[in-house]
Chains A and B, each alone.
Chain A
């Protein structure tokens, strides 16, 4: 009798806790659904052709778009990618091919993982102190630099993970054919892990293209069309921040439209990157 009561209690506890676990999962998915629904229901109606052809309007004016912010975001992100990616890949190459088990490599990995999650606003303050304060004005370049510092650890981490998946037999085969080590790395190791490296770059782009905090003190914002990287530059995240916080209806509408666009772009990038990682899993 006592035995079966205990058995019943264990069964009940099990069922209850597993039920709670299902609820927790639904809890997580619920917010994702709510966020996406909010973006679509508030942003979709304001997306039209003028959004992509006109610059941000003055407050309470009719029309206008976010073309300058889109172009600015693309340019700043491009600078971040062009600066951050090669350094990340080269550093990962050293860790995977030369440093490997050395103590300094372990330290670099450790520091890189901290940079990976470091508060992006602190990166913004750093770039402000080093670049903006020195030159005396905000600029697109400094925004790109801040993004590159955020991009670098992402690329480094994924690239190294991919490089160490390449079997050493491939490296030995290249060496046996008489190829110098750099050639073995570039033509054999890189080629074998190209998909993975590209995935890392995509994840990095997804990470930096929504970053707002580091741009607040670097690129700032610009209400007008500008492709001059040495001046303050319009960009989607800061524009969304300023427009969403403003009391003007037309600015808020543009903010929601921009929010929908940028989120869809980032979600698409992350999904594609995930699919690519899976496709690249052959090296395992």
Chain B
């Protein structure tokens, strides 16, 4: 991304016009105002964290560690704990990753190695458009179009054939409602595929052609080149892309709110309704009465922000490492 030789060049600029008092003033004003804008980004991040922390404090103070371990969410008795929402958030995102990662890998492989040149750009663009469609549209489509078809054709079959397997069978039991944790995870997968496949495609393109040609030269098949050369070379970047997609999936709100069924119970079957942190917020925040209810919801928001902060930060660090390695090589 960054090429190195720019450092020295910029140092030349500020020296020569000290004699004009006015332009020196204008310069320091310009410098100051851009700096202020840049620092605002930091202030925003710190501000969000602080505000959420202050507002969430009453809930943390009142429920203590129980906020993370209990399963109750009862506005009537003012008993709140985040476990069901955290569970739903993690499980839906996990399902999304299990589906989205291999599919994204396939798409990136197709775009970088298989597709003829004229097809690359249209396919990349079409996949990226999946990310441009608003979340709420996925939600409407999921609830009104996908869920009925899924519950009528796919779910009974899955329950009949996988539902009696040992261990995993219990995950696929239950009434075919169409909506629920599994459907939410599936639709999240479709929503994060464009993010993950775009990163994978970009890092696959970073592999030096010489490396790939050497592998082809000793007789590797395309698959062997991808699996033994491209993937090891880009491992860090690929993991970064996956983390980026995971960060997106964790915080996704509207689509999940439509299709997860919004129940505060933790159930063993993936076909049952559940909720996530973001869907709980979307459903209950404007209706919350009483300071402890609102505070508990904001505490949920803080937990979500914290989880995504860690995941996205990790993604960014991995991708940076990929970038600097590439920079050193070239």
Give the interface of A toward B (CB within 8 A).
10-11, 13-14, 17-18, 20-25, 27-29, 31-32, 34-35, 38-39, 86-88, 90-91, 93-95, 97-101, 105, 107-108, 110-115, 117-123, 125-126, 128-130, 149, 152-153, 156, 164, 168, 171-172, 175, 178, 180-185, 206, 210-213, 216-217, 220, 237, 240-241, 244-245, 255-256, 259, 262-263, 266-267, 270-271, 274
Contact = CB atoms under 8 A, between A and B. Distances in A.
Interface residues of B, number: 97
B278 A119 contact: yes
Nearest to B138: A35
Contacts of B123: 25, 29
B135 A117 contact: no
Contacts of A20: 106
Given A98-B31, A259-B137, A31 B40 contact: no
Contacts of B38: 90-91, 94-95, 99, 105, 108
Interface class of chain B by DSSP: helix
A196 to B, nearest CB: 15
B17 interface: yes
Q: Which of B36, B136, B304, B313 has the most chain A CB within a 10 Å cutoff?
A: B136
Nearest to B3: A164
B23 interface: yes
Interface string B27-61: 10111011111111110110110011001000000
Nearest to B194: A28
Contacts of B221: 10-11, 13-14
A266 B45 contact: no
Nearest to A118: B308
A38 B35 contact: no
A113 to B, nearest CB: 5
B176 to A, nearest CB: 20
Given A87-B37, A94-B35, A114-B309, A122 B301 contact: yes
Nearest to B111: A25
A219 to B, nearest CB: 11
A87 B37 CA distance: 5
A206 B301 contact: no
Given A17-B223, A175-B12, A120 B55 contact: no
A167 to B, nearest CB: 9
A25 B134 contact: no
B328 to A, nearest CB: 16
A5 to B, nearest CB: 15
B54 to A, nearest CB: 8
Contacts of A211: 134
B6 interface: yes
Contacts, number: 281
Given A168-B9, A263-B137, A274 B125 contact: yes
Contact of A175 (B16, B278, B301): B16
9 contacts: A14-B223, A23-B106, A86-B37, A88-B37, A105-B38, A119-B308, A122-B48, A172-B9, A182-B23
Given A32-B130, A262-B134, A263-B133, A21 B110 contact: yes
A34 B190 CA distance: 12
Contact of A29 (B16, B104, B127, B252): B127
Contacts of B197: 28
A31 B144 CA distance: 15
B14 interface: yes
A129 B55 contact: yes
Contacts of A31: 130, 190
Given A125-B301, A181-B13, A212-B254, A100 B7 contact: yes
Q: Name the 8 nearest CB pairs between A and B, nearest first.
A: A119-B251, A24-B106, A210-B134, A182-B30, A90-B37, A94-B34, A180-B23, A14-B221
B129 interface: yes
Nearest to A278: B121
B262 to A, nearest CB: 11
Contacts of A122: 48, 52, 251, 301, 304-305, 308
Contacts of B27: 180-182
A218 to B, nearest CB: 10
A14 B129 contact: no
Interface stretch (B161-169, B242-250, B267-275): B242-250
A115 B251 contact: no
A25, A130, A240 interface centre (most CB from chain B within 10 Å) = A25
A267 B111 CA distance: 21
A122 B44 CA distance: 13
A118 B247 CA distance: 8
Contact of B253 (A115, A119, A185, A240): A119
Given A14-B222, A212-B254, A93 B34 contact: yes
Nearest to B189: A31
Contact of A271 (B17, B33, B125, B222): B125
B98 interface: no
Contact of B45 (A11, A34, A115, A129): A115
B222 A149 contact: no
